[in-house]
Structure formats: structure tokens, C-alpha cells
Chains A and B, each alone.
Chain A
Amino acid sequence: MIEKIIGVAAYILLAPLVGGLLDGLDRKISARMQGRVGPPLLQPFYDVRKLFAKQIVGVINSSQAAMLYSYLLLMVFSGCIFFAGNDILMSVFVLSTASLFLYFTAVITGSPYNSIAASRELIQIMTYEPAVILACVGFYMASGTFNVSGIIHSDMVMITRLPGFFIAFVFILTIKMRKSPFDVSTSHHAHQELVKGVTTEMGARNLAIYTIAEWYEVVYLLGFVALFVINQQWWSFVLAAIVILAVYFLEILIDNSAARVKYGAMLKWTWAMTLLAAGVNLLILMLIR
């Protein structure tokens, strides 16, 4: 029980810090890749602080903000389920419910750019969901439980049994983390043909709320990545940290070296990848069981 409380508290308190730092790191590394100096590491925190100091800007009544707050809170809640060591599939389902609220936040405004981006966000959800669900299935097959605490208590390193699921998951991470070539609904950087996608109509404090929700999400997703590595051995935690940083770096590299694709291509590639990597891995697991 104590473990669960610590896990949840740590997630609620530390995730924004870690997420913000990673965001800063992202900007710094991206800048260096593009031959710029880049902002200070803590720039994301300065941005959010400044946004919080402003009044809320919206285009319709308060329901826009209500949807956004629901997005943030459900995101935190799904992370809590995960870091409390509970059912991973349930956590993923709540995560997709949270994502729907981001869609609602955007679509409720009736603003043209925002609505198009909202539809694209929905396509993104459809695109990555199979890989996430299959990853949960993979954990279940390898460890015999859907519980996160059960999964990390198994003897083996999951990735040795689930390499295909891992590849598929990292593939969809590009969508989830809003990195090029799959950042069709919005991007963390200013290079978007859709102005700013789902965040178009999020003004001032709303944008800050959104940013914090994204930080929570990134930490949750990286926690998911860590699950592929962590078991009870001390070295597995070190390994997990290395894997997380490597994956994060890989995403930045892809972001800076790939051109954005159309949503159709995103859908086809991702589903093909999910079927090939995760599907074949699933088949093998079922055969050797």
C-alpha cells in the first residue's frame, strides 16, 4: 500500500518537473542539431510561469476550459493508475478517454483550424491505439498479469520476450509525443502548417494547463517504456534510465530529420508496423507458450 502511495505522490509531484526538464532538453538538443544555441534548459518552466500570470483567453464560453481541465485531470489519473502499480489495460483505457477530452477541447470551439486539428487528433488516437493495447497484451502474456506491480516483479527483462511490441510502441511514441513526421494534429515546435493545431485556440493560462498535461503524458509514456526493462534487479533501473534517454534522443533525432507526412501515410505505416512487429511477436509468444 505504502508503495502505491509513494508511486502516486511521486508521479503527481515530480512528473511535471521531469516532463518540463525533458522538454527543455528537447529544445536544447533540437537547437544544437539545427546549429543554434537554443534556450536555457529551464525555459519551459519560465514559459509556463509567464502563461499562468496572464488571464484566460478563450473563444467560446467556459466549456472549452472545462474540457481542458478534464483532459489534464484524467491524464494525471491514468498515470496514477499506472504508477500505483495497478491494471495497465485499465490505465490505457483511461488514457484514451483523457485524449478524447483533448479532442473535445478543440472541437467545441467551432474554430476552423482547431476543428481540423481535432479531427486529425482523432485519427492519431485511432492510429496508435492498437499498438498500445497490444503492448498491454504482450506484458500480460509474458508476465501473466495486467498489473504493473506484477509485471515489474517478474524475473526477466520484458524486452527480451517482447522486442516486437517494444518496436511498435516506440514507433507510436512519435505520434504520442507529437514529433515529426507524425505530428499531424499539432507540434511542440512552431513548424506546423496548421498554425498550432489543437492548441490554436488555447490562450494564455489554458496553454499552460495543456503544456503541463503534456508533461504528465510524456512521463507516463516513458514509464511505459521503462516497463519493458524494469524488474527487481538494481541494474534494471539503470538500464531503464538509459533506455528512456536513448528513446527520447531517438525521438528528437527523428523529429529533426523527418518531414511531416499526410495522415493517410501515418495510419498505413503505423498499422503495418503494429501488425508486423507486435503481431508477429504475439504470434511467436502464443506458439511458444
Chain B
Amino acid sequence: MGVAIFLICFPLIVAPIMYLIRNDKVRGRVTYVCGAVITAAALCLTVRWCAGGMQVIKAYDPAEWIDHLILAGEIVLAVIVTILCFKYHRGIISLLAIVPTGMITYLELKGPALAEVNAIYVDHLSILMCLIVGIIGVLIVVYAVGYMEGYHEHHTEFVNRKNYFFMVLFLFLGAMFGFVLSSSLLWIDLFWEITSVCSFLLIGYTKTDEAITNSFRALWMNLLGGTALAVGIVYLAYRGGNVSLQYLISLGTAGRVIAIIPIALIAFAALTKAAQLPFSTWLMGAMVAPTPSSALLHSATMVKAGIYMLFRLAPAMPGTTTGMMVSLVGGFTFFMASIMAISQRDAKKVLALSTISNLGLMVACAGVGRPETIWAGIFLMLFHAVSKSLLFQDVGATENATGSRNIEDMHGLMYRLPRLAIFMFVGIAGMYLAPFGMLISKWSALKAAVDNNNIILVLFIAFGSATTGFYWTKWMGKLIAFSHRSGQKESDHMFPEEVLSLTVHAVLMIALCVLLPLISKAYVDPLLVEMFGTYTDVLSTSILIMLVVTICFVFAIPMLSMVYTRNLKMNMKLSYMSGINAGNNKRFIDAMGDKKKIWLVNYYFEDFIQADRMMRYSQIFAAAVLIIMICVVIGGVL
């Protein structure tokens, strides 16, 4: 499995080279080439795996020195974190790096002899993650080349550290591949910590006070998860003598007692990574980072690492306290985050909250742990990765063009920056509208929740869908509303890289939507068989036909309406303003007889919702649930 090893090592090797290249042009070229190589390698791995009959590949018995290398990596990481923590006067956080590293080191050097583990494990789920990272991740990196150019033109106040930025991006890509392709929990732990640290470094990129505060918040929350992961690994190693993830899952599925605590701890770690309540605030704070890192780490790929972990553990979830904890926290996060998103005007905040909310739904699906919910979860993950990455990049480009990412400033964007507005429209439609995949996943999740008598999840989905629809739709409305601003077109200042990435995303989005039945039959069903050993026909033929017809209609109807109405004869009138129009639809005459511009705003219910307070209460509630449930889990075993 040379390709898998190459996928992990290549970005890690490219990363320091990126740091050394100081010339923007050269770095841009090298980024394209390396990006293309990574995508090609990911595709190559997929093709070879398909050619091998889509069987699980277990490969590579690691030599001793590689294990030591992994350990050395852990220690280096802990040292870096410790130094940075002390440099910025937050020494206490370094404990969260030192303690787990110490435990892992002790385990490797003095611990019990562990069974041999196949280090590389390739199956449907890891291939899916590889494709997401290898295609969407790389596209974001390509987009970053153009974006960072524009970013530093606009923000001259920040030190230009682009070489550093790209180094961290590549480091992250390598760690992500390593994470999804490894089977040994020790390896997974290292790659897990690398992604945490990459996220920390990227959030602090601008080095403003806010960025530093937020980056340390992200750091301690993620390291807390990492600590839980390390404790779980050490426990498993001492009690089970084996640190393979697959071994743990098989123990958990068989209902063995020794698996209960590690699974609960790893699930907890996954919740921190997936920014579930009460740990959602780190993802909110992460939005101060330049947009490509928000798109890559905090929406399309890194946070999916938590989801990936939970999907892996899903077969061991049904009927356990851990499963209940996970689905409860996920459902709660889905609902609360979608309410908070209503009150946000900042586009990136809305995207962050909707990411948290959607991750919540995926987490809830994993917590239920039935084939139907994992089916739904996989599609949610796929669609979310594509459309959210599209949206982040689009908002970033809009901000570079207009200097604002306030949704109110996007009023009439369709008439001012049509290209960006159309991409945004496609992205938002992909997030929730029929017949895009999100909806069919929601349909499936709802059905599965009912089948499993999970009443709380049913209620969360029913109410959460309504609130989700609200904040997306009002954003869409803003884009198409007739502009009360000056009518002239503006330039969107997009670099070719950005256009390329956005176009590929939009095409992918629509292709995924049209090909959904095919993907389901050819890929996701076998994935479920692999995971659960049983086959469930989630998408029955009648639903399938229904879906295809719906897709055709919902695409065709607005198109046809557009064409049909284009040539209709129409009598144009002024819009109704109680008779105080001032010549056109943009102005009215106020009480003093002056002409005033119309200014239309959306509802945000800021008084009613008060996102900060709501977040605090939700955090308290979710933390209480987590603590109680974990105590129950641990107490039940001891």
C-alpha cells in the first residue's frame, strides 16, 4: 500500500518546503503541482482499491523505528505547544499537552507488550474521507493561493506570513490522511493532535489579541479531547493489550465490558473535535482566521474527523449510554445552533453556526448507530463538505470584493456581483433545499429516529429543520432582493484560482445531487454492509423514482418559468409606498419632505434570541449532560 503511505508522507514533506519558498509566484506554482499530485494520489488509491474489489486492505506491519518516530512526533508536538503556551502566558494549557504525551510515552516505553497492529486500514469510510480531503481539501488550498494574495492587499496591517500559512495547510492535509488511513490508535492520536495544533496555529495567524485568545480557546478544547483520547488508549492497552481501532470496535459491537470506557472517552474526544456543545465556542472563535483555513479546517475536513471517528464507533453505539449521550448532545446542538444562527448578521458566523448545527445532526445519526442513520450521516457529511466549502470560499471572495461579510451588505448581490451570488445561491440551496441531498438525508434520519423510538431526536429534527430553513432562506432572499443600492455592477476581483475552485465545487454539488441514487447503491450500501454486516435498502425503488422525478421537477420548474416569463409583456409600475414614492423604487419622501433612501433589513430577533446568553446556557446544559452521562458510563463499569 505504497500509495497510502505516500498520501500521508508527501504533504508532510512538502510542508517545510512551502515554508522555505519565499517567492509568491513560485510558491503558487509549487502549490498547484503538489495539490495535483495529492489529488491524483487520492484518486489512485481509490482506483486501486476499487480494482481490488473494494475489499478492506490491511497493510503494513510497522517497524520498531516507525513507532519511535510517531512517539518522537508526539513529544515534539507537546514541546511546541508548551513553548507557545508559555510565550503567550497561558502555561496552564500546556498541561493538556504534557499529561497525555507523558501517558502515551510511558505506555510505549514501559507499558505492557501490545499485539501487532496493521497500521494502515483502507475501507469504504476511509476512502470516502480521502476523497473529501484529496479533492475538496486540495481545491481549498488552490483557492487559498489567490485568496491570500487579495487578503494581504486588503489587510496591510497583518504581517505577511503566507509561507507559514501554506506550510500549516499542507501539514494539515498530511495529518488528515494519516488520521483516516491509520488503524493503530497510537498513530491516530498523533495525527489527531497534529490537526488540533494546525487549527490552533491557523486561528492565530493574524496575531491580533482576538485571534490569540480564540486560538488558545480552540487549543485547550481540542487538547482536552486529545487527553480523553489518550486516556482511552492507555486504558484499552492495559486492559485489552491491543491498540487497534478495529479491535476496539469489534469488542464494543460484541458488548464487552472493557470496550465501554474507551468508546465513551473516544466519543467524548470526537465531540470536542466536531465542536458540539459545550465545545462549540472554539469553532465560532475560529472564524477570525483567513477564510481558506475556515473552509478547510473548520468546516470541510477537520471537524469531520470527529464525525469520522463517531461513524467508526457507530456499530457499538445502539442501546448504550454512550450512544444515548452522543445522540442527545448532537440533536441538542443541531437545534440550538440553528436558533442562534438566526440572530447572526456576520456571514461567517452564520456559516460557523450552521456547521455546528449540521455536525450536530451527523453526530446524532452516529449516536443512534443504525444502518439507516449512518446512511443519512454519510450523505450529510458529503453534501455538507461540498456546499460548506463552496459557501466559505464564496463569502471570502465577496469580502475581498466588497470589504464586508455582513449579510445585510449582500442586499441585491445578484445584481452587483452576479457570479458570486449565483455560486452562493447554489451553495445555500445545497445546504437545505429539496431536492438536494441534505433533505433526503434528513428524511432518512427522521425515519430512523422514529424506528428507534428516539422521541427527543424526532422533535429536534422537526423543530431544527424549521429554524434551519429560516436562516438560510432569509439569506437567499437578501441575495435576490431588488437593490436599493446604486445599480452599477462592481468587479468581484476574483483570481482565476478562486473561480476554478468555486466552479468545480458548484459542479460537484449538482453532480452529487443528480448521482445520489447511484452513489447510494454503488458505494454507501456496501459501506453499511462492511460496517454492520447486514444490508438495508434505505432508498427503496419507489422512493428512488420519486426522488429522480422530484429532482427533475424542482430544477426544471424555475428554469421554465424564467424562460416563459422573459418575453411576457408587462406593465411596469412603481412599488407601493403609500403614495410617497420619490420617482423610483429606491427612494421615498419622508415626513420632512426630504428624499430618503429605502433601507430594508431582515429579521434577526436579536432581543429574543440573545445568542451569547443562549450559548452560555446551552453550554451549561450540554456540559451537565456530558458529565452525568460519562459518570454513569464509568460508574457502570467500575
* A residues in contact (CB < 8 Å) with B: 55-60, 62-63, 65-67, 69-70, 73-74, 77, 81, 86-87, 89-90, 93-94, 96-97, 100-101, 103-104, 107-115, 118-119, 122-123, 125-127, 129-130, 133-134, 137, 140-141, 146-147, 195, 200-201, 203-204, 264, 271, 275, 279, 282-283, 286, 289
- B473 near A: Cβ within 8 Å? yes
Is B474 at the interface (CB under 8 A from chain A)?
yes
Q: How large is the interface on B (under 10, 10 to 19, 20 to 34, 35 or more residues)?
A: 35 or more
Please pick, from B480, B483, B554, B585, the residue contacting A111 in the complex, using a CB distance under 8 A: B585
Can you name the residue of chain A whose Cβ is closest to the Cβ of B463? A130
Is the CB–CB distance between A146 and B447 below 8 Å? yes
Q: If the complex has contacts A119-B602, A137-B462, are A264 and B481 also in contact, measured as CB distance less than 8 A?
A: no
Distance (whole angstroms) from the CB of A144 to the closest CB of chain B: 10
B48 interface contact, C-beta 8 A: no
Judge if B443 is at the interface, Cβ distance under 8 Å.
Answer: yes
On chain A, the residues within 8 Å of B550 by CB distance are 81, 90, 94
Interface string of B539-574 (1 = CB under 8 A from A): 000110011001001100110111011101111111
Would you call B633 an interface residue if the criterion is a C-beta within 8 Å of the partner chain's C-beta atoms? no
Q: Is the CB of A86 within 8 A of B542?
A: yes
Chain A residues with CB below 8 A from B99, complex form: none
Q: Are the C-beta atoms of A112 and B575 separated by less than 8 Å?
A: yes
A286–chain B nearest beta-carbon distance, Å: 5
Q: Does residue B484 face the partner (Cβ distance < 8 Å to A)?
A: yes
Q: List 10 A-B contacts (CB under 8 A).
A: A57-B572, A69-B561, A93-B443, A94-B434, A108-B482, A110-B412, A110-B482, A122-B473, A134-B459, A137-B458
Contacts of A114 in B (CB 8 A): 575-576
**A197, chain B: closest CB distance, angstroms:** 11
CB distance from A54 to the nearest CB of B (A): 9
Please report whether the interface of chain B is mostly helix, strand, loop or mixed according to DSSP.
Answer: helix
Of the candidate stretches B391-399, B464-472, B490-498, the one touching chain A is: B464-472
The verdict on A74 contacting B575 (CB below 8 Å), with A108-B481, A286-B453 known, is no
**A214 to B218 alpha-carbon distance, docked (Å):** 50
- Interface status of B79 (Cβ within 8 A of chain A): no
The contact of B474 among A58, A122, A195, by CB within 8 Å, is A122
CA distance A125 to B470 in the complex (A): 8
Determine the distance from Cα of A100 to Cα of B425 in the docked complex, in whole angstroms. 13
Cβ B573 vs Cβ A110 within 8 A? no
Let me know if A59 and B575 touch, CB within 8 A: yes
A275 touches B459 (CB 8 A): yes
Q: B467 contacts A97, CB within 8 Å?
A: no
B600 at the interface (CB under 8 A from A): yes
Decide: B574 and A100 in contact? CB cutoff 8 A.
Answer: no
Quick one: which of A58, A100, A282 contacts B573, CB cutoff 8 A? A58
Distance from A270 Cβ to chain B, minimum over Cβ atoms (Å) = 10
Q: Which of B474, B476, B542, B570 has the most CB of A within 10 A?
A: B570
**A86→B462 CA distance, assembly (Å):** 20
Residues of B with C-beta under 8 A to A200:
575-576
What is the CA–CA distance of A70 and B565 in the complex, to the nearest angstrom?
11
Question: Within residues 567 to 603 of chain B, which ones have a CB less than 8 A from any CB in chain A?
Answer: 568-578, 585, 588, 598, 600, 602-603
Q: CA separation between A71 and B564, bound complex, in Å?
A: 14
Residues of A within 8 A of B412 (CB): 110
Contacts of A264 in B (CB 8 A): 608
Residues of A within 8 Å of B453, CB to CB, are 286, 289
